[in-house]
Structure 1
């Protein structure tokens, strides 16, 4: 186990130049720019920590999701820290980009170990912050949750998963982006009954995976059912159930939950998925819940993207979450 976050996380490969004014998100998010900074930092200076994980070798489908963290950062110049729908200024939130988890060229096991260590050390060095992780493929969620568990061994962790897939494939085919939830269940990091998966649809999951979900008590709500009940109401239902059982809710957003019309740049694009407005409504609702304590955004492949639609949707997802999180922070002060 490493002792400092800087031993497993490297400086962001791309960062924007510093400015005196905050007009764009690229002016707002502070980027680490030297090796010593994290060891000397004061955690109380930050509300949110942003971590990149450029890993995609563990993706079942060919993917360049490893290129997403950099594409994600480059997209910041097209967004401002103000949500006009809610007349909400986000600029008082203090966000720091700590960099990318250092990746081995070929060894997925080593990479997952480093990801787990990064989350553990992030919690120790920045315990008061909200961690947002930008992948990378969905396999990164398993070591991230295990890292949280190591840093908070007494906590029971629930998963709120927005996804087209169960991600419950047998571990004999992993570690991969298709085994992430099963990995956590079978390694006893979480209970199956503490998982809520919202967004399944169409012809992209086998009956055997559905059978395993039922065996382990996984809660899953197909997109059709969520639409009939209302997306916000469905998220509220999941959060209400989870808050009665767990200490921490980990939110994982697989961008392939979106329809291919909105997210062509994912490894497993599908038809019949969520619209972006449905995803953003779900995210905004989840962000306001006090037990939602960590989040990741995964499975964006910039090489497959069209007009940067999916990368833009991913940044919008983070910004929407931060909007709800800002509301939560204001309520905590009152």
Structure 2
């Protein structure tokens, strides 16, 4: 054996006392699974603007390698947990509707196999949330959704079909959720239309603008949001990274000024993860091909760690 040769891509420095967060990912063997599952959904052909978000699942997994498993703030070390990585769902090469059907079927199947698991989904553009939630909800009953987003994503389906601007309208109009089961946080000026704001209000959607986030405080908004969803059995959190100001998420296709700062988003995820009803999260709308120094993927990886840090003491081994 030649001592200093390693498999390609693995000739990196290692410290015996440090565990990197990407080491928590364990490929699914088709049978056994941990209490935390992760699945990639590499779809971005449904985006109404140019997007390479299909490359994001692998970019976010790789970004986990930038971090350790130890939280100095809490003393929690995630090194002893395992995340079952189910891999990525294979998309149809040309048919968006068939791709979304595959997503719903696949998520439904894996959640049925391991219904008690926490679920982390890596998009993809925001169109994936509709089929993912549709598949996940079948095992959960009445669910609520908390959506971090600059946009309503309540666009009509006649003008473009099932795009990344329509996921929550589709969930409402197909009866997966009622409008009162959706809370939107971080809606931004000059990013939406009056018609879709009115549609949301008519359907009972709870909406918080980014101005309200800073005027009321994220702790108050999260507390109010969970009270709004008090009668659901489980809560799904959807994080569209364009809720963030462009300074914190340059890799979003729909960047813009005046958004949320990263610390506020991370605090919100921490607060939500403390509630046992919160059982799933997705992260969408990152295009690694336009990111700067992987800033946006790194932040997405931190969102995962923040979520798991709060959940680690609440889940069975």
8 A Cα contact 2:24 2:81, kept in partner: no
Q: Given the alignment of the two structures, is residue 92 of structure 1 paired with residue 80 of structure 2, yes or no?
A: yes
Of 189, 192, 206 in structure 2, the residue corresponding to residue 219 of structure 1 is 206
Contact 2:38 2:85 (C-alpha < 8 Å) held by counterparts? yes
The 5 A counterparts of 1:192-207 are 192-207=179-194
- Where does residue 115 of structure 1 map in the other structure? 103
Residue in 2 that maps onto 1:289? 275
Partner residue, 1:208:
195
Contact 1:235-1:282 at 8 Å conserved across structures? yes
Farther-moved stretch of structure 1 (20-29 vs 287-296): 20-29
1:128 shift after superposition: 2.2
| Whole-angstrom CA distance in 2 between matches of 1:305 and 1:213 | 32
Question: Residue 175 of structure 1 corresponds to which residue in structure 2?
Answer: 162
- Give the structure with the larger helix fraction: 1
The 8 Å contact of residues 25 and 81 in structure 1, kept in 2 or not, is answered as yes
Within 5 Å, which residues of 2 pair with 1:34-183?
37-38=29-30, 41-43=31-33, 46-152=34-140, 155-172=141-158, 173-183=160-170
Partner of 2:20: 24
Gaps of 5+ in 2: 1-8
Unaligned runs of 5+ in 1: 1-14
User: Aligned ranges for residues 195-274 of structure 1 at < 5 Å?
Assistant: 195-243=182-230, 245-274=231-260
Deviations 1:122-167 (A, max 9, x none): 1122222111000000000000111023334xx1111100110000
Alpha-carbon distance change, 149 to 212 in structure 1, aligned in 2, over 3 angstroms: same
User: TM-score of the superposition, structure 1-length normalised?
Assistant: 0.87
- Answer yes or no: is the 8 Å Cα contact 1:22–1:28 preserved in 2: no
Cα distance in 2 for partners of 1:166, 1:112 equals 20
> What is the count of residue pairs matched by the alignment?
305
Q: Residues 189-242 of structure 1, C-alpha deviation per residue, up to 9 Å, x if partnerless?
A: 000011000001221011111110111010001111121111122111101221
Rounded to whole Å, the distance in 2 between the matches of 1:22 and 1:103 is: 36
Bigger Cα displacement from structure 2, 115-124 vs 271-280: 115-124
Deviation at 1:22, TM superposition (A): 6.3
